[in-house]
Amino acid sequence: MTDAQNYLGKLVTIERYILEQQQAFPEATGILTNLLYDIALAAKIIASKTTRAGLAEILGSAGEENVQGEEVQKLDVFAQRTLYRLNDHTGRLAVMASEEVEDIIPIPDRFPTGPYVLVFDPLDGSSNIDVNVSIGTIFGIYRRKTLQGRGALEDVLQPGRNLVAAGYVLYGASTMLVYSTGRGVHGFTLDPAIGEFLLSHPNIKLPDKPKYYSVNQGYQPYWSLGVQAYTEWLQRDTPEKKGLSLRYIGSLVADFHRNLLSGGVFYYPADSKDPKKPGGKLRLVYEAAPLAFLVEQAGGYASDGARPILDIEPQKLHQRVPMFIGNRMLVEKAEALIRQHDVHA
Ligand code: AHG
Ligand code: MN
Ligand code: MN
């Protein structure tokens, strides 16, 4: 069989794959399917800008600060606007929420609302844009809880256990979209020549033997004793595993994706360095919970150091949470060492 025939034989676009997944739900209305299409389209549009970031006058800061008090990059703004504009008029959503917007994002009155809620970090790893390091988008989809009308904050502040779908886009050496609707984790690689996401990583599962640990060791002096002991345990050969290598790129999506494929643990623990961020830096609603949903679908586990991330009921839209995410054995070890060293401290 020629390469071309072989290639064409394997051509499964994300649209076709999502549709096939929908067929497993006879009662499905197709709204979630179309919402996932919209997100894939937004990913292609953002990807087209990230691959030319150095050229398209899109580098550098937008000269404003976001709700996190962080300098907003132009690409952050572009990604935010793209995700918003592709979803504000479709009638699929009751409400949206974004890392870049202080409050919930209502659907404009001139458009109908729908049954779903979209939460997202439009551009994760923004500090890496100008140095050409991989960046990402993270999203989560809930069913609305309120019964009618414009969506409300309670539709967004749901525990990750309620997610119906979640995923991320990784703008790296190639652009990948990885998602789950609760039936496994599936990865698609963008073929820029035809503008299609093609199935490249069906049914991703964390390898049993972990290879990496990912943490910003620059904060080591500010960690609890439990987290210090944990980091030392990860580095050593132990009966459960070989000593792990450190890989940390400072882009959550890139660090998470590498560990998902290679096995390992990513953690951003609480530290005493920044009084403004006592509970770690990562945000629960649109960073930790969607990735926790994915990692459990891939056979792993995500914890705040004491309990499953997916069980945490958000109280505030931008609340931060410490996170340990990856192979279940590694994350449960973190919980054990924190219980042993810190709980009574
Ligand atoms: P964002 O760019 O959306 O604000 O997220 C950045 C996050 C995450 O991507 C990464 O893991 C973390 O910031 C890196 O933080 P440190 O530089 O403190 O390690
Ligand atoms: Mn982020
Ligand atoms: Mn971001």
Q: Would you place residue 345 in the very low, low, confident or very high pLDDT band (cuts 50, 70, 90)?
A: low
| pLDDT value for 6 | 66
Contact 124, 287 (CB under 8 A): yes
| 212-342 to CATH, choices 3.40.190.80, 2.40.50.1040, 3.40.1000.10, 3.30.450.40 | 3.40.190.80
Supply the residue whose CA is at minimum distance from atom 17 of ligand 1: 250
* CA 227 to ligand 2 centroid distance, Å: 22
Q: How does the average pLDDT of the chain come out, rounded? A: 93
Q: Is the pLDDT of residue 3 over 80?
A: no
Is the beta carbon of 281 within 6 A of some atom in ligand 1? yes
* CA 4 to ligand 3 centroid distance, Å: 39
**pTM for the whole thing?**
0.94
Query: Which regions of the chain carry the CATH code 3.40.190.80?
Result: 212-342
Q: Which of 98, 127, 220, 267 to mutate for ligand 1's pocket (most ligand atoms within 8 Å of CB)?
A: 127
Q: How many CA atoms lie within 13 A of 47 on its CB side?
A: 23
- Domain 3-201, what fold? Fructose-1,6-Bisphosphatase; Chain A, domain 1 (3.30.540)
Give tens-digit pLDDT for 247-267: 999 999 999 999 999 999 999
* CA 135 to ligand 1 centroid distance, Å: 10
Query: Which regions of the chain carry the CATH code 3.30.540.10?
Result: 3-201
Gap between the Cα atoms of 153 and 45, Å rounded: 28
* CA 251 to ligand 1 centroid distance, Å: 6
Give tens-digit pLDDT for 95-150: 999 999 999 999 999 999 999 999 999 999 988 988 989 999 999 999 999 998 89
Is the beta carbon of 106 within 6 A of some atom in ligand 1? no
Q: Is the pLDDT of residue 246 over 90?
A: yes
